[in-house]
Amino acid sequence: MSHYEAPIREPLVLGDKSYHDITEDIAKPIEGAANKNWYIAFYISLAAMLWGFGCIFYTVGTGIGVWGLNKNIGWAWDITNFVWWVGIGHAGTLISAVLLLFRQKWRMAINRSAEAMTIFAVFQAGLFPIIHMGRPWNGYWVLPMPNQFGSLWVNFNSPLLWDVFAISTYLSVSLVFWWTGLLPDFAMIRDRAVKPFQKKIYALLSFGWSGRAKDWQRFEEVSLVLAGLATPLVLSVHTIVSMDFATSINPGWHSTIFPPYFVAGAIFSGFAMVQTLLGIMRKVTNLEDYITRMHIEYMNIVIILTGGIVAVAYATEFFIAWYTGSPYENYTYLSVGAATGPYAWAFWSLIIFNIITPQLLWIKKFRRSFIITFIISIAINIGMWFERFDIIAIVLSKGHLPSTWWRFEPTFVDVGIFVGTIGFFFVLFLLYARTFPVIAQAEVKTILKSSGEFYKKRREQGIPTKPAINVVNVAGTSDKSNKE
Amino acid sequence: MASDKKYWQSVEELKGSSIVETLSENEFVEEIPTDQFLGDKETLENSSTSRRDFLKYVGFTTAAASLAACEGPVRKSIPYVVKPDDVTLGVADWYATSMADGYDFANVLVKTREGRPIQIMPNKEANGTTSARVQAAVLSLYDEKLRLKEPTKGGEAISWADADKEVKAKLSELKEANKSVVLLTGSMASPSTDKIIEGFIAANPNAKHVVYDAVSESGAADAFMAMYGKRALPNYHLDKAKTIVSFGADFLGDFHGGLEKSYVAGRKSETGHMSYHVQVESNMSLTGANSDKRVVVKPSDQVFALLNLYNAVTGANVPSKATSVDSTVKKLASDLKKSGSKGVVLTGLNDKNAQLIALAINKALNSEIIDINNTLNIRQGNDAEVSQLISDMKSGKVAGLISYNVDPIYSLSNSSDFSEGLKKLELSVALSTENNETVNASNFVLPTPHFLESWGDAQFDSVTYGLMQPTIQPLFNTRQVQDALLNWSGDATKYYDYLKSFATTNILGGSSWNKALHNGFFTKEVVNSEANLAEVSISDAAAKLSSSAKKASGFELNLYTKTGLGDGKQANNPWLQEFPDPITRASWDNYLMMSMADARELGFSNPVKDNGAIDGDYAKVSVNGKEVVVPVMVQPGQAIGSVGLALGYGKTFGLNEEMQVGVNAYPLYTNGNNIQYGVTVEKVSGTHKFACTQVQKTIAGRHDILKVASLKQVTSNADPKHTWNKPAFVSYDHNEVEAKTIDLWDEHNREIGHHFNLSIDLTSCTGCGACVVACHAENNVPVVGKKEVRVGRDMHWLRIDRYYSSEIATREEAKAQGLSGGDLYKAIETEAENPEVTFQPMMCQHCNHAPCETVCPVAATSHGRQGQNQMAYNRCVGTRYCANNCPYRVRRFNWFNYSNNNEFDFNMNNEYGKMVLNPDVVVRSRGVMEKCSMCIQMTQATILKAKKEGRAVNTDEFETACSSACTTGAMVFGDINNKEDKVAALVEDKKAYGVLDYLQTKPNVIYQVKVKNTNEA
């Protein structure tokens, strides 16, 4: 199992860790009591979530009119938030599926949380298409179900319908993939659990994982198959989300560059969000040895790459808006008109947060700095929100007919729902951090001998290391026996 | 035949056996042992109904009761027991009648459904026209809040008989004491009523009739009287005119009741006859907006320009003053002279002398356009008599006042004098349809029916006699004014009989009453009443006019009426309040219009807020010692040194709270003069929130949206496709080809069945907005109120976009001037100080390649075989994607429930207001998208009617609400598959184009290039 890794590569697991130490480290947040900080964070998130739910009930009970939308701007914060959350939900699959196929071992420390983030973000994203409907109680009409309404059927021409399929597929595949990876780790918790109730729950969650060789073989196979299945989804989801805009006829939306540009943007924002979350989590749950500077640096490199693609896309959009010479392109979200018009502040926020700030990551010192990475990741999150806001609100605010030019101002309900989804997201994530193994410990154990700092050093010093034996038991209870 | 049948239940009963009697007395054969289980206290206490059981019973009963209550509210609809002959459920009846409310006069057709009038349309056979207000009058019928419901005396209910007795007693008392009684009415133009009033005055010789128009055209009537010996307004046949010069006469608005029909008839580029229209004015009026050339001068200069024109045309030398536009005036004079009898001069100054000058110029030109024989009767108000009445009331000379449908306390500038006088009266009777301050201050309040509930007649002009008939049973306990006056003059005739005999003997000249009533009008021969040409001293008039204008100082205020509210009679009508002004596109408000230069100097501005709405600063306007505080709207094209303010707003008494908007400008309307000199304007603190439906004022260089060409271009032989009506071109196979030749899809065969198109001629469209209100009425379009309009949520299915020109019209011009980037956009997006104005009615374009249809996830909007883009409200889940993808932004979303919602307390929230709803069109619930349906309920009805009658649909039989309301014929609707239909030729016309044709949405609404006559005469 263990492979050779060049000594020049930085270790992926720091310190002198044994398999049991890994188990202990990962199981600690689940088995121990939550600290005060966790409770403070949880209650703040819960309050935000409840406030958001209140705003949603108010919206559904009264009408979409409680938002700031108007006759000319039919979408604003709702779809901005939707696209933003879907984008955030992109890093998970990329990390777990694409990096798996490319055998990037560094993904192992972060894929669990990245996928959790994906799923929780897709939950948030999925809320918006439902609540933004004027009649959400009829929302199930977008599903192609046999029905008794007559010969009614959904409209397969509509990108919104493609969205329904894309998002639901993405959510279900991500969920299955995530859960598959969780099985050995749940089993580990199950085996360690002392409280019968806890044991029962984790037994259920681990689907009867026994740790037999056959289990491992199937696990590996399923993971590979799911990775293969999930990889196209990385591209499809945001491609289809972008088609909501690209297939329309609004100047600024109607753009063939949108699918690749949206996918890059989504990965960009997804990685930024992973950085934000892990930056906090590695500290709070004492996982500094597993989520290392190198992990952060690798993710920053992905951010530079995708951020670069996005920047090129922006430049292209800006150029095309100018190059067409069409008066209708005057006010696309990336144009001179947008840069000088009433939404100039949103335009420049996008440029500063999304293009200029990430360039700092070219500097190695910054790229490897936890605190700078954290700040930049927040900036990118903000910048990517503005990107979607600009695309939606600026374009709609300056439609084809000048008589329909209008502006958008959010109401407290718009803000409340957005804040509520952030609260909801963190409620889920905090609960996850307390109940799920946040690092795929079974996988990390597979690279301990090859990429662990201790072993690497020993190899460097020419001290022979015993091959990791009894690999099949890494998830099992016989950990202790493996301790060297 | 008496029956002695006996009914029996058993043989015993028949026989009269005693057991029957015994049994009937003792129904229960056995004693029921109630005591056994109720009487014995001990058993009862020991019964097994424990607390637990009790709770069970309570729980069960509560559950049962609440289940039983779970039933939808039952609304009983009661079918006709005996169906009235003329009512077929589901089929509309149309009645021809006339509207005459004192300010608006029209020959109309009224659509009734199941006995309820639901729409007013022009009676085209009678050459009738409707404005937004006439269209909206049907809703005022159902104004439960404002309409008077029963006769009262001193606020207490009184029976009609008692009221009559008391009024009659008082009248005879006053007659004996020879104290004066005045009958104060608005213009009625009703010959039969005039006769009745004559009779009333004969019976009460101490009585006098004074006609009071809130918005007066007394000056014009007085001038006509002086010159032609008849107190009336001249008619103008603008259709024949070659040159029209108007000095502030808003004849597409309310001047002489509106002359838009004949004006537009004279502006047809296709016939080669197009008048040259110059408007010399200070306010930006609808007429000025439509003119070929607009000369902007403040009111006093308007007077001098008029005098200079008189001098130039006649060669006289009346006293005047040089103005900045003298060279233009000279040019106008020569144009007029060239046009000769085809030239005409009008003036909107409500000043006898100014009107005399205009008449004199027309006389000098020997103008055929002005008609002095066939005169208009719709403005009979006499300012002099009204002011005499007020002073008489104050001095006690008048002891009794009978008012009818006027509200002088609201609409007089010296209303305090009037109310003071009113208090001194011995008898004050108010006959009125609606409650108002004057009614409130009168002793006897006698409700009169709405014109849709009344009999009557109206002599609009010398030839057209209109009849009025009720279209609904009176909603309230009302009685017509004519019946009251007949009664009080001691005539027992009912007004209906009176009217019939009057019309038969005096008007109809032997033709059938029933036919006239059916038609709603009767046309008489033109009476060539040889005008008594009195000799008037024009120089005298000019001297007076000139000297008064020379006194002008400070700001000059031009009071005007808005298209929506007019004189303010229908201020409680939510359709009209929500109707956006054609020029400023502001609804729910009046405001001080100020030139951009003055606004800059005085520090007024209209910033656009983040929510898209416009704010304004307040100004304190003082004139003649009277002050009002009004918000300022910076108006391009307003003359520097002048301000404009609309009358008719600021009414509060009895109105719904939402309608109490704007500022009452009548206090500034001293002596009924629409021009007030010596006005001071001062900025005061506070921010006003305007509710405008359009914020961007120019077309931003996007000239393929609204195309304008000159008459010369249109009549030249140049290929329009390469000159003045360029279609979109695209590159295809390295060739520049017309965009419409390229298609992604195979075209459907659209030649089967009907295919509807609507053609809108931008030259004929004056922007009057009658169609907007017609659409409201036909399609149950909700009213959303000021706050919602402000944030851009008006629900109008049909709107009229208004664009001002900018100093730099196109990007190319801007680039040529070295502008780029933000400066370029600013240049093409900022309106000119004195812009040209264009209007564009905009509604669902019913694209054959509709962008909205492809994006709806549930296929709630899809294309019909007849070209209509259809909206299935029931299927809509409200994603609003369709609205975002509509390049014309015509889709309207139901942000809230607009019916049965106290937050939107308009006509759809009360039982009376709901009676105006069109039963053929569903009222939409919240969360669904709606939009123009091309009146599919009307086209279907037409098809069904033809089918039922076993015939093909006739040529031009199809109509929509907007096209039938359109007075000027700008909107033509029809079936392009019927080549006889007018629209079939129009869509092929060289002037035809589709808005945003570069998108190739292939709209079924076709526009005709706006033509301006820049050729001059």
* Nearest residue of A to residue B822, measured between CA atoms: A340
Structure tokens at A43: 């209650």
Q: Is the pLDDT of residue A476 over 80?
A: no
Q: Which residues of B touch A135 (CB under 8 A)?
A: 876-878, 926-928
Identify which of A132, A136, A155 has the shortest CB distance to residue B858.
Answer: A155
Residues of A in contact with B829 (CB under 8 A): 402
Confidence check: pLDDT of B161 > 90: yes
* B929/A402 Cβ within 8 A: no
Position B744 confidence tier, pLDDT thresholds 50, 70, 90: confident
Residue partners of B88: CB distance under 8 A and separation at least 6: none
- CA of A62 to nearest chain B CA: how many angstroms apart? 7
Q: CA nearest B789: which of B695, B913, B674, B909?
A: B695
Least confident of A24-38, A196-210, A264-278, B677-691: A24-38
pLDDT of residue B7: 79
CA distance A150 to chain B (A): 11
Name B211's bridge partners.
B185
For B800, which residue in chain A has the nearest alpha carbon?
A403
How many residues are given for chain B? Answer: 1017
Q: Do residue B883 and residue A64 have CB atoms under 8 angstroms apart?
A: no
Quote the CA–CA distance of A368 and A373 in Å, as a whole number: 7
* Average pLDDT, rounded, for chain A: 88
Determine the pLDDT at residue B229.
Answer: 85
Contact between chains at B879 and A132 (C-beta distance less than 8 A): yes
Q: What is the pLDDT of residue A482?
A: 41
Closest CB to B611: pick one of A63, A68, A154. A68
DSSP for B415-460, written as a single string: HHHHHHHHHH-SEEEEEESB--HHHHHSSEEEE---GGG--EEEE-
For residue B824, give both structure tokens. 């370029």
Could you tell me the fold of the domain covering B232-376?
Dimethylsulfoxide Reductase; domain 2 (3.40.228)
User: Rounded to an integer, what distance in angstroms lies between the CA atom of residue B311 and that of residue B357?
Assistant: 10
* Beta bridge partners of residue B346, listed in sequence order: B246
- Beta carbons of B625 and B639 less than 8 angstroms apart: no
Please state, in angstroms and as integers, the Cα–Cα distance from residue B843 to each residue in A389, B134, B445, B848, B891, following that order: 28, 22, 45, 15, 8
In tens, the pLDDT along A440-450 reads 888 888 888 88
Distance CA B353, CA B540 (A): 9
Interface of B with A in 678-697 (CB under 8 A): 694-696
**Number of CB atoms found within 10 A of residue B130's CB:** 29
The CATH number for B152-216+381-519, chosen from 3.30.470.20, 3.40.50.740, 3.40.50.970, 1.20.1050.10, is: 3.40.50.740
**CB pair distance less than 8 Å for A141 and B788:** no
Least confident segment among A401-415, B64-78, B520-534: B520-534
Domain locations in chain A as residue ranges: 19-134+157-479
- The 10 Å Cβ neighbour count of residue B961 is 30
CB nearest B700 (choices: A74, A244, A327): A327
Task: Give me the residues of B, 829-848, that contact A with CB < 8 A.
Answer: 829, 840, 842
Contacts of B82 by beta carbon, 8 Å cutoff, 6+ apart: none
| Chain-chain contact of A64 with B857 (C-beta, under 8 angstroms) | no
pLDDT of residue A77: 94
Range(s) within chain B of domains with CATH label 2.40.40.20: 585-692
Nearest to B894 among A134, A164, A250 (CB): A134
pLDDT digits (tens, 9 = 90+) for B813-863: 888 888 888 888 888 888 889 999 999 999 999 999 999 999 999 999 999
Please indicate whether, in this complex, the C-beta atoms of B878 and A133 are within 8 angstroms of each other. Answer: yes
What is d(CA B396, CA B422) in angstroms, rounded to the nearest whole number? Answer: 10
Percent of chain B past pLDDT 70, that is, above it, reads: 96
Closest-CA residue to B445 (of B481, B419, B409):
B481
Q: Which helix (H) or strand (E) holds A173?
A: helix A159-192
3-state DSSP percent of chain A in helix, strand and coil, to 5: 70, 0, 25
**Residues A296-321: tens digit of each pLDDT:** 999 999 999 999 999 999 999 999 88
Which of A30, A92, A122 shows the shortest CA–CA distance to A226? A92
| Distance in angstroms (rounded) separating the CA atoms of residues B418 and B772 | 38
pLDDT tens-place string over residues A170-223: 999 999 999 999 999 999 999 998 889 999 999 999 998 998 999 999 998 998
Residues of B in contact with A336 (CB under 8 A): 821-822, 825
d(CA A393, CA A77): 8
**Is residue B108 a contact partner of residue B136, using CB atoms and an 8 Å limit?**
no
pLDDT at B991 over 70: yes
Residue A8 one-letter amino acid: I
- Check B877 against A141: CB less than 8 A apart: yes
User: Residue B270's pLDDT is what?
Assistant: 84
The alpha carbon of residue A317 is apart from the nearest alpha carbon of chain B, in Å, by: 16
What's the burial of A359, exposed, middle or buried (CB within 10 Å: 0-12/13-18/19+)? middle
Task: Give CA B822 to chain center in angstroms.
Answer: 41
For chain B, residues classed under CATH 3.40.228.10 are 232-376
CA distance A134 to chain B (A): 3
Q: What is the value of ipTM here, to two decimals?
A: 0.91
Chain A partners of B701 at a C-beta cutoff of 8 Å?
A: 327
Whole-number pLDDT of residue B29: 65
Give the residue among A114, A382, A355, A86 at the shortest CA–CA distance from A238.
Answer: A86
- 3-state DSSP assignment of residue B641: coil
Cβ pair A243, A67 in contact under 8 A: no
B716 touches chain A (CB under 8 A): no
Q: What distance in Å separates the CA atoms of residue B52 and residue B55, rounded to the nearest whole number?
A: 5
Q: Is B319 on the interface with A (CB under 8 A)?
A: no
Q: Are the C-beta atoms of residues B853 and B863 closer than 8 Å to each other? A: yes
Q: Which range, of B9-23, B38-52, B234-248, B669-683, averages the lowest pLDDT?
A: B38-52
Query: What topology is assigned to B585-692 in CATH?
Result: Barwin-like endoglucanases (2.40.40)
Strand B729-732, strand B152-153: pairing: unpaired
**Cα four-point dihedral sign A164, A166, A171, A176:** positive
Which residues numbered 366-385 in B keep a CB inside 8 Å of some CB on A? none
Chain B positions touching A149 (Cβ under 8 A) are 875
* CATH code given to domain B708-1012: 3.30.70.20
Q: Are A210 and A476 in contact (CB under 8 A)?
A: no
- pLDDT at res. A483: 39
To 10 degrees, the CA torsion angle through B434, B439, B445, B451? -30
Angle at the Cα of B253 (from B247 to B259), degrees rounded to 5? 80
Cβ pair A179, A143 in contact under 8 A? no
Q: Which of B934, B924, B912 is nearest to B117 (CA)?
A: B912
Region(s) of chain B under CATH 3.40.50.740 = 152-216+381-519
- In the numeric block, which tokens belong to residue B269? 């580029």
Residue extent(s) of CATH 3.30.70.20 domains in chain B: 708-1012
pLDDT digits 0-9 by tens, B16-46: 777 777 777 776 667 766 666 666 666 666 6
